[in-house]
Structure 1
Amino acid sequence: MLKLRLKRIGRKRQPSYRLVIMPSERRRNGRAIEQVGYYSPITKEVHFKVEKIIYWLKVGAQPTQTVANLLKKGKIIQK
């Protein structure tokens, strides 16, 4: 199953995350199929490639709970 989830990047105590599409069986920092966004919890900076996210959701990718919350705040999905 494809998941829309966060992949951690950045230094120790300075996390930032990439929003990626990857199979749920792969490790958190494993090879992703595609990068579709960026999130920095320290600066609250968020960038989404909206068209790509909508495409992958239509194809059947499931967002994790944290990603779903970010997408709701960005008004990309409603639930």
Structure 2
Amino acid sequence: MVKIRLSRKGIRKKPFYQIIVTNSRNSRDGRFIEKLGYFDPLNLNKRLHFNKNRIDFWISKGAILSKRVYSLIR
């Protein structure tokens, strides 16, 4: 099953997340199919950026959004 979810990057106590498309069996920070955007909880100016067209494409192919990604993009 293909999922759209967050992958944690950055360093300790300074998280930075990438919005990725991956197989649900892969680990959180493991292999991914495509990077769709990012979420930076610490930067107030550029907090969220994503490609809406690609997210819609993957949803049409059957990808499932995680709860956190769903709450961010809606």
TM-score (norm 1): 0.88
Structure 1 alignment gaps of length 5 or more: 73-79
Alignment match, 1:50: 52
Q: What's the RMSD between the two structures over aligned residues? A: 0.7
Alignment match, 2:61: 59
In the alignment, the residues of structure 2 paired with residue 23 and residue 4 of structure 1 have an alpha-carbon distance, to the nearest angstrom, of 9
Aligned-pair distance for 1:16? 0.5
Pairwise mapping of residues 1-79 of structure 1 onto structure 2 (< 5 A)?
1-44=1-44, 45-72=47-74
Q: How many residues align?
A: 72
1:14-61 Cα shifts (integer Å, max 9, x gaps): 001000000100100001000001000112410111111110011110
TM-score (norm 2): 0.94
Aligned-pair distance for 1:7? 0.3
Structure 2 alignment gaps of length 5 or more: none
